[in-house]
Amino acid sequence: MQAPPDLPDELPQEALSQSGAARALRDITYGSVAGMVSKVFEHPFDLTKVRLQAQVLDPTARFNGPIDCLRQTWRKEGIRGLYRGLPAPIVGAMAENATLFLSYNELQSLIRRISGQTTDAPTTLPQIALAAAGAGGITATVLTPIELVKCKMQVQMLAASPHVAPSAVAAVAGLPLSASMPVNSSTIAKLPGPISVLMSVIREHGVRGLWLGHTGTLLREIGGGAAWFCTKEFVAGKLISYRLSKTSPGTLTKGKGREAEPLAYESAISGAFAGAAYNIALFPADTVKSALQTAQELHPNSHQARLGYLGMAKEMWSKQGIRGMYAGCGVTIARSIPSSAIIFLIYDGLKGRFG
C-alpha cells in the first residue's frame, strides 16, 4: 500500500523540526554539565578576583594580592569561605554555558542560511565572531542577576570585618543600623543566603535592580565571547590540521569525518588559549561591574553606592588608575585557563560521544 502523496514532503519537515529540537536539547545539556564542573573547580579563584576588585575603592587594601587573599580567606573562613556564594555561580554557570552554546550554534546556523551556505560549509572567523558576540549579548541578560547575587555574597565577610563601617555589616546582615554594633560571630552567622540576597535586592530596587551592572556584563560577554570562541576554533583548527598533516598527507581540508573533530587534548589546549583570550579582552569592564555590584555592601553610606557604570569607572580610575582596573586579572587568567579547558573538554567530549 502506497503512502499518501503528501507524506514524503511532510516527513522531512517533521524530521528537521525534531532534529533542531534535539540539537538544542543537547547544547543545553552539554553546556550545563560543562559549566557546572568547571565552576566547582574555579570558584575559590573567582571569589579571590571579586574581593580584589572590591577593594579598589578602599583607602587601605585588605589583601596584598591573590595569594594573600586566598590565605586570609582560608585562615579566617576555612573551606566554606572559599566556596562562599557557590550555589549562585553553579546555577549561573549552567545557565551561562547552556545559553551560550545554544545561542552560538543557532546564530551560526542563521548566519549560514542568510549567507546561502550549506549546513556543512565551514564557518569563517568573522562569522564565528559575529555569532559569538550575539551569543554573549543574549547570555549577559541571563547572567547579570546571577552574578549580582554571587558578588554580593562573596564580599559578605569583607563587610563583616573591622575594615568596614558597622553600618555596612548591618546592611549585609539585614539588621538595624547601629553605629556601635560590634562585628562578631553572631553577626556573621546571620549573613543571608542567595535567596535572601535576591529578595533583598527586589525589595529595595524592584526587579529592575537585579540587572545592576548589566552594562559591564554585556561588554564583557560580547567582547569576551567573541574572543573565546574565535580563539578556540582557530587554535583547534590549527591543531587538527597539524595532526591530519602528520597522519594523512593531503587531507588538510576540513572534512566531515570524525578525524576532523578535535581530540580530547586538542579541545583542552584550544580551550585553555580561549580562556586566557576571554579575560584579556575586556577585563576592566568586569572590574567596574564587580565594584558596582558590591558598593552597597562595602560602602553603603558613601556616594559610591549611588554611582552608575560610567561614574564608577571614573571613580575607580581616579583611585588606582590602570592598576585598579586590572585588579585580580592575574588570578582570573590563571583560573580561566584550566577552567575553559575543562569546559571544552567536556562539551566536545559529550558532543563527540553522543552527537
- Out of 65-74, 91-100, 278-287, 340-349, the most confident range is 340-349
Nearest of 190, 205, 103 to residue 145 by alpha carbon: 205
Rounded average pLDDT over 153-157: 80
Nearest of 27, 195, 19 to residue 96 by alpha carbon: 27
User: Given a cut of 50, is residue 49 above it in pLDDT?
Assistant: yes
H helix and E strand count, the chain = 13, 0
Residue 116 lies in a domain: yes
Is 316 in contact with 289 (CB distance < 8 Å)?
Answer: no
User: Which CATH number fits the domain that encloses residue 91?
Assistant: 1.50.40.10
Computed over every residue of the chain, the mean pLDDT equals 82
Tell me how many domains the chain contains: 1
Q: Please list, residue by residue across 136-164, b when 16 or more beta carbons sit within 10 angstroms of its beta carbon and e when fewer do.
A: bbbbbebbbbbbbbbbbbbbbbbbbeebb
Specify the pLDDT at position 12. 52
User: Given a cut of 50, is residue 243 above it in pLDDT?
Assistant: yes
User: Given a cut of 70, is residue 166 above it in pLDDT?
Assistant: no
Q: Is 177 exposed, middle or buried (0-12, 13-18, 19+ CB in 10 A)?
A: middle
Is 319 in contact with 57 (CB distance < 8 Å)?
Answer: yes
> By mean pLDDT, which of 10-14, 189-193, 283-287 is the weakest?
10-14
Q: Which domain holds residue 226?
A: 25-354
Beta-carbon contacts of 195 under 8 Å, excluding residues fewer than 6 positions away, are none
Percent of the chain with pLDDT over 90: 45
Neighbours of 319 (CB within 10 A): 15
> By mean pLDDT, which of 201-205, 249-253, 263-267 is the weakest?
249-253
Specify the pLDDT at position 159. 65
Q: CA-to-CA distance for 40 and 45, rounded, in angstroms?
A: 10
pLDDT tens-digit series, residues 298-308: 888 788 888 89
Specify the pLDDT at position 161. 54
Rounded to 10 degrees, the C-alpha dihedral 246/250/252/256 comes to -110
Q: Cell digits for 169?
A: 555589616
Residue 81 lies in a domain: yes
User: Given a cut of 60, is residue 186 above it in pLDDT?
Assistant: no
Specify the pLDDT at position 105. 93
Rounded average pLDDT over 183-189: 46
Q: Please list, residue by residue across 43-67, b when 16 or more beta carbons sit within 10 angstroms of its beta carbon and e when fewer do.
A: bbbbbbbbbbbbbbbeeeebbeebe
Nearest of 228, 253, 227, 231 to residue 240 by alpha carbon: 253
Residue 215 lies in a domain: yes
User: Given a cut of 70, is residue 45 above it in pLDDT?
Assistant: yes
Residue 88 lies in a domain: yes
Specify the pLDDT at position 177. 35
Residue 14 lies in a domain: no
Please give the residue that has the higher pLDDT: either 248 or 114. Answer: 114
Rounded average pLDDT over 124-130: 94
Q: CA-to-CA distance for 137 and 54, rounded, in angstroms?
A: 25
* Cα distances (Å, whole numbers) of residue 19 to 105, 149, 351: 14, 36, 15
Specify the pLDDT at position 276. 95
Please give the residue that has the higher pLDDT: either 57 or 209. Answer: 209
Is 257 in contact with 323 (CB distance < 8 Å)?
Answer: no
Residue 306 lies in a domain: yes
Specify the pLDDT at position 5. 45
Q: CA-to-CA distance for 218 and 225, rounded, in angstroms?
A: 10
Rounded average pLDDT over 98-113: 93
Specify the pLDDT at position 4. 43
Percent of the chain with pLDDT over 70: 82
Residue 171 lies in a domain: yes
Interhelix angle 87-115/329-354, rounded to 10 degrees, is 60
Residue 273 lies in a domain: yes
Q: Which pTM value belongs to this model?
A: 0.78
> By mean pLDDT, which of 93-97, 178-182, 219-223, 283-287 is the weakest?
178-182
User: Given a cut of 60, is residue 3 above it in pLDDT?
Assistant: no
